[in-house]
Amino acid sequence: MGISRRLDEARKAFARGDRAASAAAHSPARIAQAASEQHGGAGSQYLGDMVYGGLDGIVTTFAVVSGVAGAELGTSIILIMGLANLFADGFSMATGAFLSAKSEQEVYDREYQREAWEVDHFPEGERAELVALYRARGYPDADAEALADIQTRDKTRWVQAMMVDELGLLPDDKKPIQSALATFLAFVVAGSVPLLVYLLGLVVPVAAGVSFPVSLILSGLALFGLGAAKVLVTKLNPLRSGLEMLLVGGLAAGVAYVVGALLKGVGG
């Protein structure tokens, strides 16, 4: 958490043009403190899965609600299609997140094993690759040789250098099953927002013509809120991010509503 907090301080100082705050964030004491602290909380690495899963859940579910509302097919159809979409798409996204994380880890592990084997059996060739990579980045020959000497003193550091400098691969500590669960839960929880008023209608009477406007308002608020929360991942302006997601979600729902209205009555 220390390093990420220091980076946030540096980003905010840069955004404000605050040289004093930037200098404080880059002081040797602050850097040492950040390096000594634990990196990230238990759930911080799954924040992206949660934010983007939630955004997809709202957009897709509200698009379904809008399409059915446009076709004037009734509350029961909205609930059936909305809930079916919610859990089916949520499961699909979770499966995709699981397979993506698992594949990335498998690729990294396979390449790491290969690089370790090559370091053991062809050390001179691997060292020459490092030197060539550093030269290609503009380092003078003497500096490239010195950097290669430093990296090759320890096998683990050597292999890691080959992974980053040659292959551009970084290790990812995310567990595929937890990534899938974070995506699924966020999708279902956030995606249920457009359906809340319709679910409420099963328990207490809701006036005709009220459900869809209420769903629209709730979905808009949720879209803006999650769009703003996306800055926890992107580090961009929260107002702009929230408005962008509100616009994207609104356009998706608008298209679905128009299509539903145009196809109204096709099913008889």
More confident residue, 235 or 75: 75
Query: 96 and 60, same structural domain?
Result: yes
More confident residue, 32 or 125: 125
Percent over 90 (pLDDT), the chain:
26
Query: 93 and 5, same structural domain?
Result: no
Query: 233 and 186, same structural domain?
Result: yes
Q: Tell whether 267 is covered by a domain.
A: no
For residue 132, the model assigns a pLDDT of 92
For residue 223, the model assigns a pLDDT of 87
Residue 104 to residue 113: CA distance in whole angstroms: 14
Of the listed ranges 147-151, 185-189, 195-199, 241-245, the one predicted with least confidence = 241-245
Length of the chain: 268
Residue 191 near residue 61, CB atoms below 8 Å:
yes
Cα 151 to the center of its chain, rounded Å:
32
Residue 186 near residue 203, CB atoms below 8 Å:
no
Identify which of 76, 92, 102 has the alpha carbon closest to the alpha carbon of residue 187: 92
Query: How many CA atoms, within 13 angstroms, populate the side-chain half-sphere of residue 228?
Result: 8
Q: Which domain range does residue 84 map to?
A: 41-262
Residue 259 to residue 226: CA distance in whole angstroms: 26
Fill in the DSSP letter of residue 211.
H
Q: Tell whether 242 is covered by a domain.
A: yes
Residue 148 near residue 127, CB atoms below 8 Å:
yes
Q: Tell whether 72 is covered by a domain.
A: yes
Considering Cα of 85, then 77, then 193, then 251, what sign does the dihedral take?
positive
Query: 16 and 96, same structural domain?
Result: no
Query: 91 and 27, same structural domain?
Result: no
pLDDT tens-place string over residues 130-167: 899 999 989 999 999 999 999 888 999 989 988 888 88
pTM of the model: 0.74
Composition of the chain by helix, strand, coil, percent to 5: 80, 0, 20
pLDDT tens-place string over residues 90-119: 999 999 989 988 998 999 999 999 989 988
Identify which of 251, 248, 195, 199 has the alpha carbon closest to the alpha carbon of residue 52: 248
Q: Which residues contact 117 (CB under 8 A, 6 or more apart)?
A: none
Query: 49 and 23, same structural domain?
Result: no
Residue 222 near residue 197, CB atoms below 8 Å:
no
Average pLDDT over residues 114-127: 89
Identify which of 43, 58, 5, 7 has the alpha carbon closest to the alpha carbon of residue 242: 58
More confident residue, 28 or 84: 84
pLDDT tens-place string over residues 197-227: 999 988 888 887 888 899 999 988 988 888 8
Query: 206 and 183, same structural domain?
Result: yes
Q: Tell whether 131 is covered by a domain.
A: yes
More confident residue, 25 or 248: 248
Q: Tell whether 83 is covered by a domain.
A: yes
pLDDT tens-place string over residues 63-77: 888 888 888 888 889
Q: Tell whether 256 is covered by a domain.
A: yes
What tokens does 14 get? 């840069």
Query: 216 and 128, same structural domain?
Result: yes
Residue 141 near residue 106, CB atoms below 8 Å:
no
Query: 25 and 61, same structural domain?
Result: no
Residue 151 to residue 139: CA distance in whole angstroms: 15
Residue 244 to residue 179: CA distance in whole angstroms: 25
For residue 253, the model assigns a pLDDT of 84
Query: 152 and 96, same structural domain?
Result: yes
Query: 25 and 88, same structural domain?
Result: no
Banded pLDDT at 169 (limits 50, 70, 90) = confident
How many distinct structural domains can be found in the chain?
2
Query: 3 and 61, same structural domain?
Result: no
Q: Tell whether 268 is covered by a domain.
A: no
Is the pLDDT score of 9 beyond 60?
Answer: yes
Q: Tell whether 191 is covered by a domain.
A: yes
